[in-house]
Amino acid sequence: MSAFIAQHFVPLMFAGLLLFLLSGIPVAFGLAATGLLFGYIGMEAGLFPLNMFQALPLRVFGIMQNDTLLAIPFFTLMGIVLERSGMAEDLLETVGQVFGPLRGGLAVAVILVGALLAATTGVVAAAVISMGLISLPIMLRYGYNRSIATGTITASGTLAQAIPPSLVLIVLADQLGRSVGDMYAGALIPGLMLVGLYLLFIAGVALVRPHWVPALPPEARIYREGNGASGHRSLLALLLVCVVAGLAWAQVHEGLINGWTERSTPAPRDEIVILSMTVASLLALLLALANRVLRFGLLSKLAEQVTFVLIPPLVLIFLVLGTIFLGVATPTEGGAMGALGALVMAFARRRLTLALMRQALDSTAKLSTFVMFILVGSTIFSFTFNAADGHYWVEHLFDKLPGGELGFLLVVNLLVFVLGMFIDFFEIAFIVVPILAPVAEKMGIDLIWFGVILAMNLQTSFLTPPFGFALFYLRSVAAKADYQDRVTGATIPAVTTAQIYRGSIAFIILQLCMVATVITFPGLVSGGLEKTETIDADEAFRTMGLPEEEAPATDPAADAASAAGEADPMDAAASAPGEPGTNDDDPMKALEEAIKKDAGK
């Protein structure tokens, strides 16, 4: 029996974890129970020493000392305060008015607001429920195709998984042992490309099936000027001025920032983009404030509304990400700054109440505790798993795959996609990622790239039946019975579960296309990372003005003696350790060797 257990210990451990999960107990406790139970079995079978678990308390205490994970409660608090202060409602109304006159304009507004909520709240449930309550009735009122309407709302809500500052990216960075700032920088361009892919899809639907995504009728547009104009021309002029200011900053950014930070390397692309957008947003806010205070009358009602509703959360996002990318603040400090900024914004809008604070702190504490318990459980599981050399077992599973690195990535993404249909993304990140990360690193895969691919894939876990959480969030707020619209008086049929499920299919395909794009073009991720310089030891010596290592002079007599097989006693004396002139006593030689050794790492 002991021989059987020893030979099949790791597969039995996975089977035991599956049984615990199927029993219905919480995942955190199932992970911990599996680790402790099989650790005891391994000790009884003689596989592990009896004192194996003595180091476990230190591992658990190390989780509590992990500063990176402090970013989770800070970003969660920031998002919940902004969501509960009514930001989603204001954004949907304002952006809907901007794009409403276009076919598909409401869907475009939902996608853009979803991206903004993803970057501020980072909470899928809040985004989907808010947009489902506000946008879905308006889209149904004006004749939107039901599958397009529901799919747009659920897919836009899942953008919180891939757009920084995402909680998923924080967890993946921690599990992969990489910098959160690098993970944010790597995910920025793919996340924005996914938003662009959604917008292209809606544009394609508007061209091929225009009756599926009709424009808002004139009577539904609430922002009008005294002469009946919509105000879009004024908004376009303000946008043009801000774009020019942002482009101008991009030209001088590197010189200014490198001089301020005393940095010699070129400025990363994502840093330039974020800070250029920050400058443009701040300029728009200053112009709108000056226009209102000094009563210039240069901006339309629509332009002012867009500026005062859209720009403050944008500036908050850009400041948080900008300080992280610049290296001025750690992700934890950036999260704390974001939480403080969210409180200031809620206070400025007179929506910061005691009830809101109680709800926000309660939700933050619940989510943080949930993450911590799963992390403790996964640590206990991985403790026993690694003691049984489970990582070697996993490596042997993948070393025979055809296709090498590409075959490994395809199988891993298929595994994560299937698991996402049944378990939560946190559980995948804490159970599956620590097992796969060593294999990926051994194969030479960049772990930042690997993490961004997984983050993109994990989005689908919210849309894939039977347990797509975003689908159930929308189902909870969508009309379950026919109702009479309060504006038009028409009877609106109920939204069925089948319509919600059908709506998600197109966006799941789009997400998988984005995963394939990131796998095919790794530069989309690595292009946003700051490149490190390789130091040449000889060049460093020349720069420092130190003498380079010279080849020893040859003595013809000594060469002849050596060729005859005779030993020169002077050579032996020169090579004896401890004698003057050798590397042991020459500090310059020792310094040179140390620099070369460090440069070779």
Q: What is the pLDDT of residues 50-59, one digit of tens each?
A: 888 888 888 8
Specify the residue for token string 């992700």. Answer: 331
Question: Over 60: is that where the pLDDT of 330 sits?
Answer: yes
Is the pLDDT at 36 greater than 70, yes or no? yes
Rounded to whole angstroms, the Cα distance separating 154 from 478 reads 12
Percent of the chain with pLDDT over 70: 87
For residue 483, what are the β-bridge partners?
A: 492
pLDDT mean over 136-154: 90
Provide the residue ranges of all domains of the chain, joining segments of one domain with +: 68-352+455-526, 537-599
Which residue's structure tokens are 């049944």? 422
Q: Are 148 and 406 in contact (CB under 8 A)?
A: no
Whether 600 shows a pLDDT value over 90: the answer reads: no
The band of 546, judged by pLDDT with boundaries at 50, 70 and 90, is: low
CB 156 within 8 A of CB 108: no
Type of residue found at 242: C
Report the pLDDT averaged over residues 495-504. Answer: 90
Mean pLDDT of 62-86: 83
Residue 531 has pLDDT above 60, yes or no: no
Q: Residue 1, exposed/middle/buried by CB under 10 A (0-12, 13-18, 19+)?
A: exposed
Average pLDDT, the chain: 81
Q: Is 216 helix (H, G, I), strand (E, B) or coil?
A: coil
Residue 86, pLDDT score: 79
Query: Which one is predicted more confidently, 440 or 222?
Result: 440
Indicate the pLDDT class of residue 538, thresholds 50, 70 and 90. Answer: low
The DSSP 8-state label assigned to residue 242 in this structure reads: H
pLDDT at 563: 42
H, E, C per residue of 3-46: HHHHHCHHHHHHHHHHHHHHCCCCHHHHHHHHHHHHHHHHHHCC
* 219-228, 397-406, 477-486, 540-549: the lowest-pLDDT one: 540-549
Phi, psi of 491 (to 5 degrees): -85, 125
Which of 154, 135, 95, 98 shows the shortest CA–CA distance to 313?
Answer: 95
Q: 172: closest CA among 509, 436, 510, 517?
A: 436
pLDDT number for residue 576: 40
Q: Enter the tokens of residue 506.
A: 């197109």
For residue 462, what are its two tokens?
Answer: 């919210």
pLDDT digits (tens, 9 = 90+) for 151-206: 999 999 888 888 887 888 888 898 898 888 889 888 988 999 999 999 999 999 99
Taking the alpha carbons of 498, 503, 506, 512 in that order, is the dihedral positive or negative? Answer: negative
Least confident of 262-276, 406-420, 527-541: 527-541
pLDDT for res 544: 58
Lowest average pLDDT, out of 135-149, 166-180, 222-236, 409-423, goes to 222-236
Neighbours of 296 (CB within 10 A): 10
pLDDT-derived band at 149, boundaries 50, 70, 90: very high
Q: What is the amino acid identity at position 6?
A: A
User: What are the helix (H) ranges across 142-179?
Assistant: 146-157, 167-176
Rg of the chain's alpha carbons, rounded to an integer?
30
Q: What is the pLDDT of residue 521?
A: 92
Model pLDDT for residues 237-266, shown as the tens digit of each residue: 999 999 999 999 999 988 888 888 777 788
178 CB-near residues (< 8 Å, 6+ apart): 447, 448, 451
pLDDT surpasses 70 at 573: no
- H or E segment to which residue 491 belongs: strand 491-492
- Is the confidence at residue 561, as pLDDT, over 50? no
Instruction: List the one residue out of 507, 499, 260, 519 whose CA is nearest residue 410.
Output: 519
pTM score, two decimals? 0.77
Q: Give me the pLDDT at residue 542, please.
A: 59
| Mean pLDDT, residues 553-577 | 42
CA distance 228 to 58: 70
Tokens of 456: 């993109």
The identity of residue 422, as a single letter, is F
Selected residue with higher pLDDT from 209 and 79: 209
How far is it between the farthest Cα atoms of the chain? 112
Residues 6+ apart with CB under 8 A from 481: 494
187-201, 335-349, 518-532, 570-584: range with lowest mean pLDDT: 570-584
User: CA–CA separation, 178 vs 37, rounded Å?
Assistant: 31
CA 94 to chain centre: 27
Backbone angles phi, psi at 467, to 5 degrees: -115, 35
Cα 37 to the chain's mean position, in Å? Answer: 34
Q: In whole angstroms, how far apart are CA 504 and each of 483, 513, 548?
A: 24, 14, 65
**CB 33 within 8 Å of CB 142:** no
Contact of 494 with 142, CB cutoff 8 Å: no
What confidence tens digit (pLDDT) does each residue in 289-298 have?
A: 998 888 888 8
Task: Say if residue 388's pLDDT is above 50.
Answer: yes
Q: Is 156 exposed, middle or buried (0-12, 13-18, 19+ CB in 10 A)?
A: buried
CA 420 to chain centre: 17
Residue 601 has pLDDT above 70, yes or no: no
pLDDT of residue 129: 83
In sequence order, what are the beta bridge partners of 491? 484
- What mean pLDDT is predicted for residues 492-499? 89
3-class DSSP state for residue 484? strand
- Give the residues across from 492 on adjacent strands: 483
CB 382 within 8 A of CB 41: no
Which residue type does 513 have? C
pLDDT of residue 556: 45
What confidence score (pLDDT) does residue 190 get?
A: 92
pLDDT score for 585? 47
pLDDT tops 80 at residue 378 = yes
Q: Quick check: helix, strand or coil at residue 483?
A: strand
Q: Residue 133: its pLDDT value, please?
A: 84
Q: Which two tokens stand for residue 46?
A: 């003689």
pLDDT of residue 506: 92
Copy the structure tokens of residue 340.
């403080």
C-alpha distances out from residue 316 to 52, 313, 468, 561, Å: 48, 5, 30, 78
Say if CB 134 and CB 241 are below 8 A apart.
no
Outline where DSSP puts E strands in 275-378.
Answer: none
- pLDDT of 540 reads 52
Q: Rounded to whole angstroms, how far apart are CA atoms 140 and 138? A: 5
The residue type of 166 is S
DSSP for 170-231 reads HHHHHHHT--HHHHHHHHHHHHHHHHHHHHHHHHHHHHH-GGGSPPPPGGG-----TTS--S
pLDDT at res. 599: 47
